[in-house]
């Protein structure tokens, strides 16, 4: 989009340096020659889970460490620039995988600007590729359903006429056909290119419905704790899709702690003002201030799989098809939201964070587009 001429020629109307820094999608931290935090933007406050007043003056390594020894050594050399990809930092809330850069300021010896961008929030723009890769299988799946329906019908007729073990075999055929159809349905959802319509949605109503569904299936065996911010405004989402996302995430968390003596799942909501990501389909940045976190105290995902859990056909469950989280990611991105996975090894907590846009803010932007 072209910038209007009166904006491009009038310095008074241009955003200043502080406004530009506050508008950055990633965390920015200014450190002095002693590695102490001098300034930081809103995105950095959100990532660290602490306000600027609590952070300024603290040692950066103590704030986000311990770090990879190689990264920590390079940071100790004041003149060194640094680019470190997919490293783990520790914040007040969880461990996070980030890309880190350190840029020396030539005008101020020893001073550097640190940027931190979460790996999970840089996965935008891949949904078209995912839909394309699953498009042909989705079309094929539609053709497979017809013979499956015939097989199911024949098995049902056979079950009525057969007795004993033979009847059980016919019933098994019916059950297996149903399982294959459910798998095909998920593949078709992943291959869909047209996202569901979004509108203003009360996030807590969707969450409570999802929790009730999971509790009914689990019969209350696993404790599910609700920690809601009652002041949250409506989000811009598809209610059915959001419920499906939450049911999947809460069910996964329940399964992760089902064998634990004191298994616990926590669903938390809060407002985080600085988070945003680039919605490629919309061609602009979208603010995502509403955060829904599903946490559990289970063993967590194996480290080797953590970078791939949102990919199709990847699952840590022995009988899993690996389509659940891939579908969750697609549905969240279709609502112009973002999802990330974190493992806090210190507290033994696994968290999935869903971030969604405000209904009023995003609708207003759409009307002005």
Q: How far is CA 81 from CA 39, 114, 179, 284, in A?
A: 19, 10, 54, 30
pLDDT in tens, 225-254: 999 999 999 999 989 889 989 988 999 999
What is the mean predicted confidence (pLDDT) over 10-20? Answer: 73
Q: Give the relative orientation of helices 203-218 and 239-257 as an angle to the nearest 10 degrees.
A: 40
The neighbour count for residue 244, using CB atoms within 10 Å, is: 19
**What percentage of the chain reaches a pLDDT higher than 90?**
23
Angle at 46 between CA 327 and CA 227, to 5 degrees: 65
Q: Out of 3.40.50.920, 3.90.1150.10, 1.10.1200.10, 3.30.565.10, which CATH number does the structure's domain 199-368 have?
A: 3.30.565.10
CB 91, CB 64: distance < 8 Å: yes
Domain borders along the chain are: 5-119, 127-191, 199-368
What's the token pair of residue 220?
Answer: 């209350």
Q: Please give the residue that has the higher pLDDT: either 82 or 95.
A: 82
CB 96, CB 342: distance < 8 Å: yes
For the chain, counts of helices (H) and of strands (E): 12, 14
Instruction: Please give the full DSSP string across 76-111, using - where no structure is assigned.
Output: HSTT--EEEEEEEEE-SS-EEEEEEEEEE-TTSTT-
- From the list 258, 353, 259, 352, the residue with the least C-alpha distance to 301 is 352
pLDDT in tens, 300-324: 877 767 677 777 655 555 554 456 7
pLDDT in tens, 159-189: 888 888 888 888 878 877 776 776 666 666 6
3-state secondary structure of 303: helix
Full-model pTM: 0.61
Matching fold, domains 5-119 and 199-368: no
Q: What are the φ/ψ torsions at residue 87 (nearest 5 degrees)?
A: -100, 165
What's the token pair of residue 145?
Answer: 């359903």
Identify the CATH number of the domain defined by range 5-119: 3.30.450.20
CB 43, CB 50: distance < 8 Å: no
Q: What's the pLDDT at 275?
A: 61
What's the token pair of residue 98?
Answer: 């980030």
DSSP state, residue 59: B
What's the token pair of residue 181?
Answer: 């159809």
- From the list 135, 255, 263, the residue with the least C-alpha distance to 192 is 135
What's the token pair of residue 253?
Answer: 């968390």
Q: Sign of torsion, CA 176 178 179 181?
A: positive
Q: What's the pLDDT at 60?
A: 93
Angle at 273 between CA 32 and CA 90, to 5 degrees: 50
């Amino acid at each position: 989009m072209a910038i209007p001429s009166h904006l491009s020629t009038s310095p008074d109307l241009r955003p200043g340096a502080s406004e530009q820094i506050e508008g950055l999608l990633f965390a920015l931290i200014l450190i002095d020659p002693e590695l102490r935090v001098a300034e930081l933007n809103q995105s950095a406050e959100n990532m660290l889970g602490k306000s600027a007043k609590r952070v300024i003056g603290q040692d950066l390594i103590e704030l986000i460490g311990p770090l990879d020894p190689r990264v920590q050594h390079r940071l100790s050399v004041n003149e060194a620039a640094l680019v470190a990809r997919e490293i783990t930092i520790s914040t007040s809330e969880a461990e996070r995988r980030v890309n880190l850069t350190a840029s020396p300021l030539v005008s101020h010896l020893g001073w550097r600007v640190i940027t931190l961008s979460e790996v999970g929030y840089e996965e935008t723009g891949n949904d078209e590729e995912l839909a394309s890769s699953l498009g042909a299988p989705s079309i094929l799946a539609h053709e497979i359903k017809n013979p499956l329906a015939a097989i199911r019908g024949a098995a049902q007729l056979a079950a009525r006429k057969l007795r004993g073990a033979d009847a059980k075999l016919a019933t098994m055929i019916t059950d297996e056909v149903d399982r294959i159809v459910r798998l095909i349905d998920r593949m078709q959802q992943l291959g869909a290119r047209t996202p569901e319509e979004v509108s203003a949605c009360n996030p807590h109503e969707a969450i409570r419905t999802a929790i009730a569904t999971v509790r009914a299936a689990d019969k209350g065996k696993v404790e599910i704790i609700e920690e809601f911010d009652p002041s949250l405004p409506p989000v811009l989402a598809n209610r059915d899709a959001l419920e499906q996302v939450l049911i999947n995430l809460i069910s996964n968390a329940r399964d992760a702690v089902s064998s634990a003596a004191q298994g616990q799942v926590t669903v938390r909501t809060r407002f985080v003002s600085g988070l945003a990501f680039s919605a490629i389909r919309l061609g602009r940045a979208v603010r995502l201030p509403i955060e829904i976190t599903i946490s559990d105290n289970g063993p967590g995902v194996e480290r080797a799989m953590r970078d791939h859990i949102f990919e199709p056909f990847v699952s840590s469950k022995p009988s899993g098809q690996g389509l659940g989280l891939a579908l969750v990611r697609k549905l969240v991105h279709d609502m112009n939201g973002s999802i990330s996975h974190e493992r806090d090894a210190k507290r033994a907590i696994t968290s999935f964070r869903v971030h969604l846009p405000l209904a009023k803010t995003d609708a207003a932007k759409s009307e002005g587009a």
